[in-house]
Structure 1
Amino acid sequence: MLRAEKAKVIDDLHGVFSASEIVVVTHYKGLSVPEITDLRRQVRGAGASFNVTKNRLAKLAVEGTSFEPLRDLFVGPTAIACSSDPVAAAKVVVDFAKKNDKLVLVGGGFGGNILSPDQVRALSSLPSLDELRAKILSLLNTPASRLVGLLQAPGGQMARVLKAYAEKA
């Protein structure tokens, strides 16, 4: 790889690290090309990215970002999953690793802190940002729908009473 190409890769990776909320570091040794392609498709579907990285370039790219403490994790056949949603990348990677033992969680980074593989698994069990938004909307809609039901009930009761009275007479 030429020096200019390396500089472009480093700049691209630095941009990914700067824009991400979470980075999950994995070892992918033994995964076939179709398996990595399937993992990339799943990660992309969750709004994240999955990249195989060259360790030396990743160590250079991580400098000056909140993920600088991850430098020591870039050893061996490394791939990273990055996302602006703190849960999305972890959720997909952990689910894939449960089904395929060739993908090994090495750790991750979130908020300037290093996460152990167990902490990444714990993070993946949290609801995603979209799920939290849906729950909040359902909580906001529930009182309104109950209020509408309560306001309609007296009118309906009055109509039933009048109908019963009319049938009786």
Structure 2
Amino acid sequence: MPNKRNIKQLEELTGLFKESDYLVSTEYKDISANTMVALRKQLNSVGAKYRIIKNNIAHLAANDANISEFSNYITGTCALLITDLDPAQASKQLYKVIKDEDLNIKILGAVLNGEVIESNKVEQLSKLPSRNELIASAIGQIGAPLTGFVYSLSSQINSLVNVLNNIADSKK
């Protein structure tokens, strides 16, 4: 018979699985508590959580959340990266921390907007620009022709003013 704590964890994890836009399953080894705290702080800086989970409860939660395929990626000493913000930024930060701190963390798989994806897709996602960078780029590309148009108009007006000033000077 399951205890109340496990039932509560199952309900909480099922809710996270249903509501979160991006979940990444990782297997970690030989990571100290202090290193885990530092990892969590760095992931929190981009709006992501990193949570150690019980595999049996996670399997049940994945089934309850209708992402049973994700259970295949919940093995070993497992922890989840969870975010509702920018998936590319969270993935980028996770890979950066793993590389910088030389951590023994293996990306197993993920769920992106309800679709189960493999670890190689998570790596590809980490190499994409963040959502804010894409928006800034799009705005810059939209604004560039307008800026050029305004510049060409202002140069024509300046030329006209110069011609009128020259005519006025010549009539004096």
* Same-fold status (TM-score > 0.5): yes
Match of 1:114, SS state, is strand
| Of 117-126 and 159-168, the range deviating more from structure 2 | 159-168
> Which amino acid letter does the alignment assign opposite residue 109 of structure 2?
G
> Is residue 49 from structure 1 mapped to residue 49 from structure 2 by the alignment?
yes
Q: CA deviation at 1:164?
A: 4.6
Match of 1:63, SS state, is helix
> Which residue number in structure 2 is paired with residue 40 of structure 1?
40
> Which residue number in structure 2 is paired with residue 92 of structure 1?
93
Which whole-Å CA distance do the structure 1 matches of 2:39 and 2:26 have between them? 12
Which sections of structure 1, spanning at least 5 residues, go unmatched? Answer: none
Q: Which runs of 4+ in 1 moved over 4 A?
A: none
1:1-150 superposed matches below 5 A: 3-84=3-84, 85-99=86-100, 100-110=102-112, 111-115=114-118, 117-150=119-152
1:138-165 CA-to-partner distances (Å, cap 9, x unmatched) read 2222222222222222211122334455
Q: CA deviation at 1:80?
A: 0.6
TM-score by structure 2 length?
0.83
Which sections of structure 2, spanning at least 5 residues, go unmatched? Answer: none
| Of 140-149 and 55-64, the range deviating more from structure 2 | 140-149
Match of 1:7, SS state, is helix
TM-score by structure 1 length?
0.84
Are the equivalent residues in 1 in contact too, given 2:43–2:49 (CA < 8 A)? yes
Which whole-Å CA distance do the structure 1 matches of 2:19 and 2:89 have between them? 14
Are the equivalent residues in 1 in contact too, given 2:18–2:65 (CA < 8 A)? yes
Which whole-Å CA distance do the structure 2 matches of 1:34 and 1:12 have between them? 25
Are the equivalent residues in 2 in contact too, given 1:66–1:112 (CA < 8 A)? no
Are the equivalent residues in 1 in contact too, given 2:26–2:107 (CA < 8 A)? yes
Backbone CA RMSD of aligned residues: 2.3
The count of residues paired between Structure 1 and Structure 2 equals 167
Are the equivalent residues in 2 in contact too, given 1:51–1:80 (CA < 8 A)? yes
Q: Do the aligned partners of residues 19 and 156 (structure 1) sit closer, same or farther apart at CA in structure 2, a change above 3 Å counting? A: same
Are the equivalent residues in 1 in contact too, given 2:48–2:90 (CA < 8 A)? yes
Are the equivalent residues in 1 in contact too, given 2:50–2:81 (CA < 8 A)? yes
Are the equivalent residues in 2 in contact too, given 1:97–1:104 (CA < 8 A)? no
Which whole-Å CA distance do the structure 1 matches of 2:170 and 2:80 have between them? 74
Which whole-Å CA distance do the structure 1 matches of 2:115 and 2:42 have between them? 26
Which whole-Å CA distance do the structure 2 matches of 1:82 and 1:157 have between them? 58
